[in-house]
Structure 1
Amino acid sequence: MPTPTPSGPPPVPAPSGRPAERPSGPARVLGIGDNVVDRYPDLGLMFPGGNAVNVAVHARRAGADAAYWGVTGDDTAGAVVRRALAAEGVDTGRVRTEGGPNAWAEIGLVGGDRVFKGSDDGVSVFALDEEELDALAGWDVVHTAYSGSLAGQVPDMAARTRVSFDFSHHWNQPWAAPLYPHLHLAAFSASQLGTDEVAGLLRQAVRQGVRWALATRGGDGAVLTDGDSWWRQPPVATPAVDTLGAGDAFIGTLLAALAAGGDPRQGLARAAEAAARTCTAHGAFGHPAPLPAPGPEEPAPALGEDDPRGGPDTRVEPSRAAAGEKGRTPSGRTARTGRNA
């Protein structure tokens, strides 16, 4: 894959209805969609997480003004998520709390790589109403992911502001490519691909309309392109305790830089450092809480002896470093809409 010498990205085109020049000051980054608590039974702890939450937190740590929109449960787990966001300085003014369990994912570790053993969406599935869609225009970029419930609304979101989307390793799904023309940033988890395959994936995304295409590759670092220039970022060596959330840390940190019009090289370097720091501790960004015993408030694991697959899902996916992966397409369950859904 050729490596042109980057001379800086061309001006970022404004989406429909947005001014071409953003005001000076910190970037405004919104994470919208999934939230979970990551349950670690072996540690007796749970940690706040979820792709959209993690990206918002790491964008805030990188200096952006950040917020999270989503639906949390009225249980202990939902309170853990809300408290952690508040402690990180992420605005939660549009977070809804509904009666029922918060979304969760059960996590195991194999050699520092996280293993998803079960999950439940709880009350987290929702859709944006018209007022919420129009409010997106106040943000420089909005990030969501396949693991949330908003993929079908990406075109409506992109009509109001720039949209970032994390596909993880689901780029071959039939719903994926139609999103490309609407995206400011498309992120892929691609450690299972060779160098030429990564180049082909990113080229395809850019040719179909993506402004920036990013592939994170675990121990092989990351690749970013705008279609004209290519930036390669080596990983920052660190003893990995837990890879959960490292990819989201990378995306959130980089997104804060790109949204502010910063140098991609500096943004990538900072993103690699943030991802490495995330790997040095359990959870996606800290804030552990005691894990209650299974009961009425905390559901038992969704996968087990009664699962038609014959037991817990213990596949290790080292290319994916985001909390809350549920192994489903973005269609999910029927979404609720509106502030009072």
Structure 2
Amino acid sequence: MKLAGVGDNVVDRYRDLGTMFPGGQALNVAVYAHRFGIEAAYLGALGDDLAGRHVLGAIRAEGIDASRLRVVPGHNAFAEVVLVDGNREFGISEPGVSKFCLGPEDLEYLARFDIVHSSESSYLEDQLGLLAGVAPLSFDFSVRRDPAYIEPLLPHVEIAEFSLSDLDDADAEAWLERIHRLGPRLILATRGPADALLFDGQRTWRQPSVPAELIDTLGAGDAFIARFLVGIVRGEPFEQSLADAAIQAAATCGTYGAFGHGTAAFPPMSPVRDTTVVSTTPAQRS
């Protein structure tokens, strides 16, 4: 039973705390999945700077397979985070060296996994067909709903996730039905404190949120998604996976950062834009 997160990683830099934490949707889901009891791997690109080395240390500490990870010259991706009453808000961000190309050895490796998960912030849209060709693909669209973006991708996606916190029940359910017609087998919607929804084309499941100590909401949605995907891999009833996903999401709200490993932040990095890793071979890691 294995899951691979493929795509984005960042350091989330909390200005008010003077602390940075490793994060990124694909990496968060891999870490959470491993914490929830299955084997997990992360495939992405890290910078060779202090931030990238910190993320690599956290990946190793969490026991995540990083055998296909790239470490390349340049700045790691980052996002600045501000907390407003416990709700995370993002400031400036830069992709750094996070863009990369999948190669034949990557795809051969990923074919060993039960689920591959990626996201709209991973810059892999033109490679989703490759991922879907080797393993069932889970993809987090987050708040992206523009047809020009989502419709070409949905035929490749088996499990689609959306953040629909701005929609009421009727509009959210209508959205799930629309998305199902475009390809995915399952559509999961997280909605902040409102009920999460799951749709399989015939039935809608509802999962109420669990009361939480609101310290930092960053990572809560990723924890929910990861626990649900772990349930898929294990063959759990949806009711069981959704109920535990809500518990894990609430627990994540009670700590700073997506999955811990905070360290002192350092002065702002120079912007690094449009950097692509063209090599398909993992770099040497020190």
Report TM bin, short chain: over 0.9
What SS does the corresponding residue of 1:161 show, helix, strand or coil? coil
- The correspondence for 2:177, drawn from 200, 203, 223, is 203
In structure 2, the partner of 1:339 is: 281
User: C-alpha offsets along residues 273-307 of structure 1, whole Å, 9 cap, x if unaligned?
Assistant: 1111111111011110111234xxx337x9xxxxx
Q: Do structure 1's residue 299 and structure 2's residue 241 form an aligned pair?
A: no
Give the partner amino acid of 1:153. Q
User: C-alpha offsets along residues 149-184 of structure 1, whole Å, 9 cap, x if unaligned?
Assistant: 111111121111100000011122412122222212
Q: Which moved more, 1:132-141 or 1:34-43?
A: 132-141
The 2-side partners of 1:299 and 1:120 are apart by 9
1:336 shift after superposition: 2.6
In structure 2, the partner of 1:158 is: 132
Question: Cα RMSD between the aligned structures?
Answer: 1.7
Q: Do structure 1's residue 232 and structure 2's residue 206 form an aligned pair?
A: yes
Q: Do structure 1's residue 72 and structure 2's residue 46 form an aligned pair?
A: yes
In structure 1, the partner of 2:219 is: 245
* Residues 4 and 117 in structure 2, CA contact (< 8 A), matched pair in contact too: yes
- The correspondence for 2:244, drawn from 241, 262, 270, is 270
1:260 shift after superposition: 2.1
Give the partner amino acid of 1:61. R
What SS does the corresponding residue of 2:3 show, helix, strand or coil? strand
The 2-side partners of 1:206 and 1:63 are apart by 29
User: C-alpha offsets along residues 122-154 of structure 1, whole Å, 9 cap, x if unaligned?
Assistant: 111112012212322111010000100111111
In structure 1, the partner of 2:55 is: 81
The 1-side partners of 2:276 and 2:40 are apart by 28
Q: TM (normalized to structure 2)?
A: 0.94
Give the partner amino acid of 2:247. E
The 2-side partners of 1:340 and 1:90 are apart by 16
1:75 shift after superposition: 1.1
Q: TM (normalized to structure 1)?
A: 0.79
In structure 2, the partner of 1:128 is: 102
User: C-alpha offsets along residues 56-92 of structure 1, whole Å, 9 cap, x if unaligned?
Assistant: 0111111111000001011111111111111112111
In structure 2, the partner of 1:52 is: 26
What SS does the corresponding residue of 1:219 show, helix, strand or coil? coil
What SS does the corresponding residue of 1:251 show, helix, strand or coil? helix
The 2-side partners of 1:59 and 1:201 are apart by 27
Segments ≥4 residues shifted beyond 4 Å:
332-335
Tell me: CA distance 1:235–1:135, structure 2 relative to 1, closer, same or farther (3 Å).
same
* Residues 96 and 275 in structure 2, CA contact (< 8 A), matched pair in contact too: no
The 2-side partners of 1:171 and 1:41 are apart by 30
In structure 2, the partner of 1:137 is: 111
Q: Structure 2: 5+ residue runs without aligned partners?
A: none
In structure 2, the partner of 1:286 is: 260
Query: More helix by proportion, 1 or 2?
Result: 2
- The correspondence for 1:259, drawn from 230, 233, 252, is 233
| Matched residue count | 283
